[in-house]
Structure formats: C-alpha cells, structure tokens
Structure 1
Amino acid sequence: MDTSALTRSFTLALPDWIEHELADVPQVLPGHEERMALVHRLAARTFREGGGGPFAALVADSTTGEVLSVGVNVVLASGISAGHAEVTALALAQARTRSWDLGADGARRELVVNWRPCAQCYGATLWSGVRTLVVAGSGPELEEITGFDEGPVREDWAEQFEARGIAVVSDVLRDQALAVYRDYAAHVAATGAVVYNARGGAPTP
C-alpha cells in the first residue's frame, strides 16, 4: 500500500465567530439555565453562519460553574459527519484537561446540550467521563421541526445514563430550544440550506 496517499489527520475546529460571540460571556456560569442560554445563543448563530445545524453544547465544571469548552455543529464547515456539537465540546474539554476521562480524579463535569443527544453523540457522552447531562428537551419535536434524522436512540436512554453514573437533567429552557429549531426550519425554507441526512435519510439499497 502506498501510504503517502492516505490522509493521516483531520481537524474539527470552532468557527472564528465564536471568539466574538463569547467576548461578553463570563467564564463562570453558575446555573443550568445560564449555561443553556449560552448554548441556545450559539445554536441560533451557527446555522446562520453556514457551519452546520442548529446545535451547540458546552462542558462545565458542575461544582464551580466554570465553562471548560463550547462546541457547535461544524458538519457542513468541516465536511466531517462526526462534527456534532457534543463531540466538539467534549473533545475540546478533553484536549484542555489532557484526559479522555472528564470524570478522572473525582472531577464532576457536565455536558449541556440543546436536545437529547443523537445516536452518535449518545455514545460519545457515555464514554466521555461527564457526570451530568443537561438537556433542553427530548422527544420527536426536533426531528419533526427540522427534518434531521437523530438515529435509533433507546426509549430508556436517560435510565442508561443514570445506570452508568451520569445524572440527567431535562427540560432546561425547552421552549427556547424549540424556538431555535423553528427559526432553523424557516431558514431552510427561505434559503434551501442543506439538512444533511446521509443518503437523504433513505435506507441503504
């Protein structure tokens, strides 16, 4: 095999506008609602900037409220299907702490995201080491409003997290999340933006 033809690395990077968007945000956000409000703010901007879908996430220290990382969906910007907000936020937090386990040495860190994780991000969250998952909501509304395929997620998804020592906090600023999704749907209708389901969501032939 000619290994010179193989790609040996890839990058998932936050967009340049993140720096400006976070300029007025304190390093410490003391409560779940404050953290989720920032997630919604980032989600509302990322699709308008063309980077990906209306999704954002952050990792915070559950005890102090310090924000360790933020992530937005960068699938369209990067051309990499794994570039979801949760994956980006978790990976950046792991890079910052230099550990694949965000719960190492008794650390209590949480992932805050603007809906229940999709099939991909469900696994990423399970193995990340976070001790809490904070979501704006769950249920069919996301797929119904946006047209995204979130994949096969178990009905007992929250219980599976809890069984692995990951507390789940639900329905934090839920209405605001749905408002962002409706804005996204209107944006798609007006601009023809891509709702990126592989093979258009169709089954494999």
Structure 2
Amino acid sequence: MIDIAREYRVALPAWVDDELADVPAALPAREDRMRLVHRLADRNWRAGDGGPFAALVAERESGRIVSVGVNVVLASGISSAHAEVVALGLAQTATGAWDLGGEGLAPHELVVNWRPCVQCYGATMWSGVRGLVVAGEGPELEEITTFDEGPVGEDWAGQFERRGIEVVTDVLRDEALAVFRAYREAIDEGEVAVYNARGGAE
C-alpha cells in the first residue's frame, strides 16, 4: 500500500482570539468590518503566520460576523491557505453549507483587504456569497509587496456581478496600502520573506 498523506489542517492562529475579544458579534457598517480586516492583516504578517492579508464573512444586512480568516501559508505550509479561502471555509463549516447563498441562509458577503488573487477569485465565486467588499484593486499590491497575484482579468468585477455577486470597492483603501507598505519595509530590512513559488522565475 502506498504511504500517502490523507489529510491536512488549516487553522487560525491563537492570537486571533485576542484580536476578537473586544469585537461585537455584529458590525453593521462595512467600514467597521474592513477596519477589523486591516487590523488582522497587520497583526498576521507581524506574527509570522503569512502575508499581510485578512478577510471575514458577514451576513450582509445585519453585519453579524460568521468567520474571519488570515493568510496562514507560512504557518500551515499550504500554499492555498489564503485569507479568503480560510474565511470562506470556516464560514461554510459554521453554517453547515457549502453554498453560502443557499436556501434558508441570510445573504453573506466576503470582506477582504484587496481584490482577490486568481485562486481566491475562483474560491469566492464558487462559495455562494452574494457580496464582495474590497479595500482596493489595481497594481499597487503587487508593486508594494512583490507578490504574484496571477492573471485576473480587467473585467473581474463584472464577472462577479453577472453571477449575482455585488462588488463594492475602495473601502478604506489608504489603510490597506499602509499595511502593505509596513510589510514592504520589513521585506527591505530582511525581516520577512516573500513566499512566491518558483523563486521569482519567469
């Protein structure tokens, strides 16, 4: 019999509990949801668990927080363990439904501190969320952090909208860029390593 791995585990870092200790169960304002995302993203890279990325899933109308996620690629050793994937998976676990837009569920939205990378683009589209809220879009993320976000097309938001997923952009954009710039300073000082696969190969 071939000896192969049969499962892998992706979990939130323990420090997330401390960050959520003073957060109410519901954050009705999207700006408040994004502020929490920025706070988690900044703490995450400083803790060494992964890149400066965080996300949360909330009920769109009430603002009830269903899950949060941070990038745990370094902590888990799993390249797909991005913040969006973690938040969506935990939300689906919490609701007991792979379709977060399914019958009997409140409409959910994903809140994330930049436009999703090519992997998380697909994960978001297939998750059943009815809304995507991002701090920003554009080349700044890759320029500042040097991450390769993959070939996401110019019509990325339109593709979501055509599938019934509302897209809201530019929610606390400057705050997102501030987190990325702090991360870049740490890169330049040799304090963190960017974990792009292929070692920068073309």
Tell me whether the two structures share a fold, i.e. TM-score over 0.5.
Answer: yes
SS at match of 1:71: strand
Q: Distance in 1 between matches of 2:101 and 2:189?
A: 43
**Aligned match of 1:139:** 138
Contact 1:149 1:201 in 2 (8 A): no
SS at match of 1:39: helix
**Aligned match of 1:89:** 87
Aligned counterpart for 1:55 among listed residues 53, 56, 59: 53
| TM value normalised by structure 1 | 0.96
Q: Distance in 1 between matches of 2:169 and 2:61?
A: 18
**Aligned match of 2:165:** 166
Amino acid at match of 1:11: R
**Aligned match of 1:14:** 12
Q: Distance in 2 between matches of 1:179 and 1:63?
A: 28
**Aligned match of 2:153:** 154
CA drift at 1:192:
3.7
CA drift at 1:172:
0.0
Q: Distance in 2 between matches of 1:115 and 1:162?
A: 17
SS at match of 1:7: coil
Amino acid at match of 1:26: P
Q: Distance in 1 between matches of 2:29 and 2:190?
A: 36
Q: Distance in 2 between matches of 1:29 and 1:201?
A: 40
Q: Distance in 2 between matches of 1:120 and 1:100?
A: 17
User: How many residues in Structure 1 have an aligned counterpart in Structure 2?
Assistant: 201
| TM value normalised by structure 2 | 0.98
Single out whichever of 184-193 and 76-85 deviates more from structure 2.
184-193
**Aligned match of 1:27:** 25
CA drift at 1:42:
0.2
Q: Runs in 1 of length 4+ with deviation above 2 angstroms? A: none
Structure 1 unaligned blocks of 5 or more: none
SS at match of 2:189: helix
CA drift at 1:147:
0.4
Once the two structures are aligned, what percentage of the paired residues are identical? 66
**Aligned match of 2:196:** 197
CA drift at 1:189:
1.6
Q: Distance in 2 between matches of 1:151 and 1:167?
A: 22
Structure 2 unaligned blocks of 5 or more: none
Amino acid at match of 1:200: G
Deviations 1:5-60 (A, max 9, x none): 11111111000000011100111101110000000000000000000000000000
Amino acid at match of 2:119: Q
